[in-house]
Amino acid sequence: MNDPTRLLSVTEFLQERPDLPEAGQWAELEGGRVVLLQPPDLDHGNTLLNLSKAIAAWTHSPLAGNTYACFHLGLILGRDPDTIRFPAVTFFSGGRRFAESDREATETVPILVVELATSAERRQAMPQRVADYLAWGVAEVWVIDPRARTLVQHSRSGRPIARSDRDEVRDVALLPGFHLAVADLFVEPEWWLGRPRRPGQLPGRGPSAP
C-alpha cells in the first residue's frame, strides 16, 4: 500500500488491511484508494453497545422474521475502481437468515444502514455517505449522533426524520416490532457512573470527546 498511484481491488484491500494502522479498523476503500478515517470518539463504543442490546432483544422476537443485523460488515458500493465502507450496523431481509453474518464484505444491498457520527470527520462526510447508500439502493439510513443526542432517519421516499432523546423509534416498516427509546442509546456504562466529570462535560454524556 506504499504506492499512492496503485488502485486496490476489494480483495487486495481486505488482504492488506491488517497491516494498516490499528489493524485497518478505521480504514475504507474509496475508488480503489485507501482512506484512513479519524478514529471515533469515546461515545462510539458505548452507543454501539446500547444499540446492539436493543437489536439483540428484537432479533429474538418472532416479529423479526428473517430480518437480521450485521456489525461492521464491509459494503461494496462500487467496482472498477472498488469502493468499500464499513458502517456500524446493516440490516438484511430475505434469503437465508444470517447469510451475511460470516462474511467480511458483501455486494448484497441491505435494507437499512446505521452510521454513527462520532468524530468531526465523520459528521462532515455523513451527508455524502447517506446519499451514496441511498443511491446504491438502501431503503433507509439512520445516523446516530451521541454529541447531539439525535437519531435521524433518511430514506429515498421522503424528508429526513430527526428524533431527539425525548423521542422513540417504533413502528418501523423495515423492522417490524422494533422499538427503541433514543435516550437509551446514550446511557452511560456502569463503569462510568460515579466518576467525576471533566470540565465542560455534560451529565449523562459519558467521557468528553477529545
Burial call 19-58: b when 16+ CB within 10 Å, e when fewer? eeeeebebbbbeebbbeeeeebbbbbebbbebbeebbeeb
User: Whole-prediction pTM value?
Assistant: 0.88
Q: How far apart are CA 146 and CA 141, in angstroms?
A: 16
CA atoms within 13 A on the CB side of 94: 6
Q: What is the pLDDT of residue 1?
A: 57
Q: What is the pLDDT of residue 201?
A: 41
Q: What is the pLDDT of residue 6?
A: 83
CA 164 and chain centroid, separation: 18
Instruction: Match 455517505 to its residue by C-alpha cell.
Output: 129
Q: What is the pLDDT of residue 162?
A: 97
Q: What is the pLDDT of residue 2?
A: 58
Q: How far apart are CA 25 and CA 20, in angstroms?
A: 8
Question: Mean pLDDT for each 10-residue chunk of the chain (210 residues)?
Answer: 78 96 95 95 94 95 94 97 98 92 96 97 96 97 97 93 96 94 91 51 37
Q: What is the pLDDT of residue 195?
A: 54
Q: What is the pLDDT of residue 9?
A: 97
Q: What is the pLDDT of residue 95?
A: 85
Instruction: Match 458483501 to its residue by C-alpha cell.
Output: 106
Report whether 61 contacts 52 (CB < 8 A): no
DSSP state of 104: S
Q: Which residues pair with 169 in a beta bridge?
A: 180
